[in-house]
Amino acid sequence: MVLALALARQFRYIPYGESAPTGVPSLSCDGKVPGTTLDLTHWTNNETPEALYADTSTEIALNLARARLRGEYADLDDALVVNNHFDSDGVLSVFACTHPEEALRHAPLMVAGAEAGDFGEWSSDVGVQLDLALNALCTDDDDEGYSGALDALPGLLEDLGSHADLWRDGWDATVSSYELLASGEAELSRHGRVAVLTQPASRARVDAAALHRGLRERGIDGLARPADACLRVLRAEHDGARWRYEYSKPGHGWVARLKERAEVPAADGAAIAAGLNERLGAGWEAAGGLIPICRTRWVDAPPDAVVAALAEVDAAAS
C-alpha cells in the first residue's frame, strides 16, 4: 500500500479551548481538541485507542501510519488533522499524520525529538538537536509557526547537520550542562525513589536533557526497570553556606497514562510544602505547573535532612 496516494489529509491549527470543525472526520494530534473523530494524544483524559497508544503523541501518530499500512483506519484517509499548540511533539505528530510514509522512514529521529521536547530527555544527540531546531522555528503566532516548521521539517529529517544554525547554540549549552555532571562539579545520586542533583548556584542550572542523560547512564530514568526508576527529582543548589531547592516529578511525570515509562504518583505541592515547613522550618512553597511540586528560596537545611523529611511527607501527602 502506498499511503501517499491514498491520503488527502490537511492540517488546521485550532486555538486552545476551541472545538474541531463539525461535519468532517478529524484527528486530534498531541493537544486534545474537543470533538475530533480520533484522539492521537497522550494528554490527560485522552481516548486514544490502546492499540495505537504510546508515551509520546508522535509515536502514537506513527502507530496510526503503521496501522494504515495494515489496512486499518481507511475511513480517516481524508481526515482533518488538528492541534491547539506549537511544540516539537505537536509538529512531529502532525507531520506523521499528513506525511506518514516520510515520517516512518525517520521514525527513530522523530520519536527522539518528541521525547526531548515533551520530557526533556536525551534519547539521542540528534533527537535533542531536532527539538532545538523546531523550537527555533517557533513564532508568537502558533499558526504561522506550524506553517514554517512543517515546511522545514522534511529538510531537517533528511539532513539535520546542514541546519546547524538552528540548533548549534542550544546544543553547545546542553553539552556544557552535561559536562558539569561528567566532571563531578554537579553530582547526581539516588536516595530511594528520589534522584538528588546538587550543584553550585554560581554555575548555570543543569538543564533537563543533561539531567536525563545522567539518570539514564545510572539506570534510574523512566525507562529503567520499574523498581529502579526514580519518581521524584530534588534539585539542590548551594552557595557554600545555604541551600536552594526544587522538588519535582521527572520530565515524563506530567503524563498520567504511560505505556513504557514508570508511572509517577501525583503530588500535592501545597501539602508537601506545609509538611516540610513543619519539619524543617519555613521556606517551602508549592510550585505551579505540571512538573514542579514545591521549592524554596535560600534555607539552611542540608540535602540529607530534606531527603529524610520528604520520605515521610511525600508519601503522606500524595
Give the pLDDT confidence score for residue 7 in this predicted structure: 76
Dihedral pair phi/psi, residue 150, rounded to 5°: -70, -35
Domain finish residue from 108, 141, 169: 169
E strand or H helix that includes residue 12:
strand 10-13
In this structure, the answer to whether residues 77 and 197 fall within a common structural domain is: no
Residue 292: which of 316, 268, 310, 274 has the closest Cα? 268
- Please indicate, yes or no, whether residues 156 and 208 belong to a single structural domain of this protein: no
Residue 133 domain flag:
yes
pTM attached to this predicted model: 0.95
Please, what's the b/e burial string for 237-246 (b: 16 or more CB within 10 A of its CB; e: otherwise)?
bbeeeebbbb
Sign of CA dihedral 165, 170, 172, 174: negative
Does residue 163 share a domain with residue 192? no
**130 within some domain:** yes
Question: Over the stretch 128-138, which tens digit does the pLDDT of each residue have?
Answer: 999 999 999 98
- Residue after which a domain boundary falls, among 108, 135, 169: 169
- β-sheet with 26-29: strand ranges across: 10-13, 80-83, 26-29, 38-40
Our measurement of the distance from residue 263's CA atom to the centroid of its chain's CA atoms, rounded to an integer in Å, reads: 14
Say yes or no: 312 and 203 in one domain: yes
Which domain-ending residue is among 113, 144, 169?
Answer: 169
Name the residue range of residue 220's domain.
184-317
Q: Coil, strand, or helix at residue 172? A: helix
List pLDDT tens digits, range 38-75: 999 999 999 999 999 999 999 999 999 999 999 999 99
**176 located within any domain:** no
- The per-residue pLDDT for range 238-275, each reduced to its tens digit, is 998 999 999 999 999 999 999 999 999 999 999 999 99
Please, which residues have CB within 8 angstroms of residue 49's CB and are 6 or more apart in sequence? 38
- How do 80-83 and 194-200 pair as beta strands? unpaired
Residue 175 belongs to some domain of the structure:
no
For 72-108, the pLDDT digits (tens) are: 999 999 999 999 999 999 999 999 999 999 999 999 9
Q: Domain for residue 178, yes or no?
A: no
**How many structural domains comprise the chain?**
2
Alpha helices in 11-106 (DSSP H): 57-69, 88-98, 100-105
State pLDDT tens for residues 10-47. 999 999 999 999 999 999 999 999 999 999 999 999 99
pLDDT score of 1: 55
Residue with the larger pLDDT of the pair 316 and 36: 36
11 and 112, same domain (yes or no): yes
Is residue 213 domain-shared with residue 157, that is, in the same domain?
Answer: no
pLDDT in tens, 191-221: 999 999 999 999 999 999 999 999 999 999 9
At 3 the three-state DSSP class reads helix
The 10 Å Cβ neighbour count of residue 275 is: 20
Confidence band of 5 (pLDDT split at 50, 70, 90)? very low
Q: What is the CATH number of the domain that holds 308?
A: 3.10.310
Residue 273 and residue 309 in one domain: yes
Say if residue 163 is in the same domain as residue 195: no
pLDDT given at position 3 = 59
Position 141 confidence tier, pLDDT thresholds 50, 70, 90: confident
